Amino acid sequence: MKIDYKKELETASKGMIMIHDPKLLIKLIVRMIVRKLGLRHAAMILFDPNEDAYFLDISRGETGHKIPSGFTRFDKKSPIIKVFREKEFKCLTLDRSALVSQDIHRLIWKESVIENGNGTKDLLHKVEKQMQTLNSVACVPAYYHGDLLVVLLLGEKFDETSFEQDELDFFSALASDAAMAIRNAQLFDSLKKEADRNHELFIQTIVVLGSTIEAKDAYTHGHTARVTKYAVDIAHQMVVNGSAEFEKGFFENLYIAGLLHDIGKIGVPEVILNKRGKLTNDEYIIMKQHTIKGVEIVKPLSLPKECLDGIKYHHESFDGAGYPEALQGAGIPISAAIISVADTFDAMTSDRPYRKGLKKEIAMEEIENKSGTQFNPIVAQAMKEIFEKGTI
């Protein structure tokens, strides 16, 4: 059946531009070539700017016909790269848009090649030998901004017929579109990696920022990390028991909020933070301001609302007796309600200069007793379940 190459090219081009994963894109292109054109195998050599060299990215087709795994790197002086990359040799593929093994002998004995004395004849012999080693009968170059980016390596057809010019033109156009799509995919991949690196640095900064309060409050060492862990565990349990569903980014936002929930205490005088006895009314008013100050401190970070809610409202009470805004019931953001339980549990079980920490069993009873008054019942229930599992 005659293949409509124009239609195939249009379909392939539309699909390629939508894929931003370079490896997946290359795999799909090579697989399509093998299936549509009935080749024994096909492969793609791709330039890696980070290594300043060319690499065999993928080979598809019959076992025994695919390119051996040892042939993975091609430097710029490799014959099969040099013949397409260096300007003085590009004229060899002008009439066919590719280098086909059946044409190499003709080119070798071409009068202009013999007479110019620039090593073309010797290079073509080396290319022929390399193509045989790679089980390839045709090589199709593709360029991006004038530089060689891709070389398609094509094996024999199953019907053993030679490549027609319309097929080579299709391969050339496909390789050209592929080069553009692959370069775009590489740029997207680079941007994603950069964003991932920046995000990782951002989280590391949050961790460091969250731990700064522990340098000021000697009696909260490890408190931030424990509260964060408890909060994330509670949220996961709420999903497990079916009491809640959360959006994709919720857990990371909760994690950040947990790390920063007490950051506002940086603005509270150490004499109040480290006081051994009960706070006076005036001192308690100052202490309560840490939730508001926390939000002010992290404002330059442009954190999501869930993070800010967890920081600002984790001392709200389910019955409306909390602070800073006396929110109640469902009016308390769920991130804050979760951190509230986690924070209280750790506060009760941690040693203080004026008292020893409670046993976890007693602290858990206190959480249950205040479910529906101080704590959101759904959150308190999830806390009970993970406590019974023995994970805290």
191-205, 212-226, 260-274: the lowest-pLDDT one: 212-226
Q: Rounded mean pLDDT of 128-156? A: 88
Q: Residue 383: name the closest of 227, 175, 149 by CA.
A: 227
Sequential DSSP letters for 301-347? G---HHHHHHHHHTT--TTS--SSS---GGGS-HHHHHHHHHHHHHH
Contact criterion met (CB below 8 Å) for 336 and 323: no
pLDDT at 20: 72
| Position 208 confidence tier, pLDDT thresholds 50, 70, 90 | confident
The more confidently predicted of residues 176 and 384 is 384
Q: In the predicted model, is pLDDT for residue 383 greater than 90? A: yes
pLDDT at 375: 97
Whole-number Å distance between alpha carbons of 34 and 62: 10
Question: Each residue of 223-245: pLDDT tens digit?
Answer: 899 999 999 999 999 999 999 99
Q: Residue 105: name the closest of 87, 127, 88, 85 by CA.
A: 127
Residue percentage of the chain with pLDDT more than 90: 36
pLDDT at 147: 87
Contact criterion met (CB below 8 Å) for 144 and 183: yes
Q: In the predicted model, is pLDDT for residue 90 greater than 60? A: yes
216 φψ region: left (φ > 0), alpha (ψ -120 to 50), beta (else): alpha
Q: Residue 147: name the closest of 79, 218, 73, 90 by CA.
A: 90
- Which pTM was predicted? 0.62
Contact criterion met (CB below 8 Å) for 42 and 158: no
Question: Each residue of 18-70: pLDDT tens digit?
Answer: 677 777 777 888 888 888 788 888 888 888 888 889 988 777 776 555 555 54
Q: Is the dihedral of CA 305, 311, 317, 320 positive or negative?
A: negative
pLDDT at 354: 67
Most confident of 15-29, 138-152, 283-297: 283-297
* Averaged pLDDT score across all residues of the chain: 85
Q: In the predicted model, is pLDDT for residue 110 greater than 70? A: no
Q: Rounded mean pLDDT of 100-116? A: 69
pLDDT at 353: 66
pLDDT at 49: 83
List of residues 6+ apart from 265 with CB closer than 8 A: 213, 216, 217, 273, 290, 294
Domains of the chain: 5-188 (3.30.450.40), 199-389 (1.10.3210.10)
Q: In the predicted model, is pLDDT for residue 344 greater than 80? A: yes
Q: Rounded mean pLDDT of 188-202? A: 82
Q: In the predicted model, is pLDDT for residue 105 greater than 90? A: no
Give the three-state DSSP class for 277.
coil
Sequential DSSP letters for 345-376? HHHHHS-BTTBPPPPHHHHHHHHHHTBTTTB-
List of residues 6+ apart from 37 with CB closer than 8 A: 3, 157, 167
* Amino acid at the residue 108: I
pLDDT at 345: 97
153 φ, ψ (degrees, to nearest 5): -105, 120
